[in-house]
Structure 1
């Protein structure tokens, strides 16, 4: 993602869990004014958690300041649910920028299974999104599963929906103009 991209900025602001490997009293504002001790776990913005995970303190210590853990939005429970039925998972409640978060975490962790699950999830959900984008009236009237699915779209999927919907409308307008 581009450095000045609003999508990249919003993705990097999502929370990621990290565990401090060293005591860092100077970062007490991150922990409600309490000094950070070794073993303290905090949910920090991804950009900050990543910087702490790659930073090494001066001196003989060879460990980093903190370890970055996989966010619960990309945890094993969510991956299992996505493998079972990708369309039934409310991605927006997991992370507003779910795919962006996954992309960033895959830059940091080598998780081949996660790559496969997220790719297959996007493919299956994209088909449903394209169908609903071309038939918005029927999607709105179906209620239940249709509207629940639409509410559960992350921001990437919402952009896909808008693009598919606008494209479908443009083709209809063009066809109408050609006929007259």
Structure 2
């Protein structure tokens, strides 16, 4: 669990998610590009995750939520199916810069066991590829640069830690062999 004030948590909460309003809201038409109108019930808009979550858990007088929160495109069935097929081929950064953090936040809000399993298997599979690339002395050059572009932020942190530790071990081994 990341800290509320961490940049990763802030960026994840700013990620836009699709929401469907369950009632008409006067004066909010500008959210749907109609500034002079009311926001009609059934209107779909993309809102930052933090706002969509607050509106989804809040209740109006009839005890129903103001909006229905939907899964973002980064966690759509299409993306999950691609991850099931071969997690290494999906550009997670293109889906969401903080892909896993977004997945964790959505799993906090929804019970979706399959998504949790897919994200776990994706991370395991991709972590092995990240470790292989990180231990290559030229891991960040040439083909490695293309590899790095597709990593989400947590995977980039993992790559950096593995690369730095591999480099430190090589340096240590070189010093030992000099003695």
Query: With structure 2 as the length reference, what TM-score do the two structures score?
Result: 0.91
Q: CA deviation at 1:140?
A: 3.3
Alignment of 1:20-169 (within 5 A): 20-32=21-33, 33=35, 34-57=37-60, 59=61, 61-137=62-138, 140-141=141-142, 143=143, 147-169=145-167
Which has the larger helix fraction? 1
State the Cα distance separating 1:138 from its structure 2 match. 6.0
The one-character-per-residue Cα deviations of 1:4-63 (angstroms, maximum 9, x if unpaired) are: 111110111111100000111243443332421101101111000000100112x3x121
Q: List runs of 5+ in structure 1 lacking aligned partners.
A: none
Cα deviation, residue 149, structure 1:
3.2
Give the whole-Å Cα distance in 1 for the aligned partners of 2:28 and 2:81.
Answer: 36
> CA–CA distance in 2 between the matches of 1:37 and 1:103?
31
CA distance in structure 2 between the partners assigned to 1:94 and 1:139 by the alignment: 22
SS in 2 for 1:123: helix
For 1:126 and 1:176, the matched residues in 2 are separated by: 27
Cα distance in 1, alignment partners of residues 28 and 4 from structure 2: 26
Question: Is contact 1:18–1:68 with CA below 8 Å preserved after alignment?
Answer: yes
How far 1:147 moved relative to its partner?
4.5
Deviates more, 1:160-169 or 1:26-35: 26-35
* Matched-pair contact (CA < 8 Å) for 2:139–2:145: no
Q: Which moved more, 1:80-89 or 1:128-137?
A: 128-137
Distance 1:8 1:138 in 2: 28
Q: CA deviation at 1:174?
A: 1.9
Moved beyond 6 Å, runs of 4+: none
Quickly say closer, same or farther: Cα 1:65–1:89, change in 2 above 3 A. Answer: same
SS in 2 for 1:92: helix
Q: 1:47 to 1:138 in 2, by over 3 A?
A: closer
SS at match of 2:17: strand
Deviations 1:54-110 (A, max 9, x none): 0112x3x12110000011110111111000000011111111110000000000111
